[in-house]
Amino acid sequence: MQVLFRTNIILQNANATEAIETLSQSSALTLSTMVPGIFYPVGLILLSIALFVSKRYMTWKVLLLLMGAMLFPVGHALGNPIALLGGDVMLICAWFFLRPVFNNVNQNYRKYDIASF
Q: What's the CA gap between 27 and 9, in Å, rounded?
A: 19
pLDDT digits (tens, 9 = 90+) for 17-31: 777 677 777 777 767
Separation between Cα atoms, residue 32 and residue 79, nearest integer Å:
20
What does the DSSP 8-state code read for residue 78?
S
The dihedrals phi and psi of 87, each to the nearest 5 degrees, come to: -65, -40
pLDDT in tens, 1-18: 555 666 666 777 777 777
How far apart, in whole angstroms, are the C-alpha atoms of residue 48 and residue 62? 6
Q: Report the predicted TM-score, pTM, of the whole model to 2 decimal places.
A: 0.63
The DSSP symbol for 116 reads G
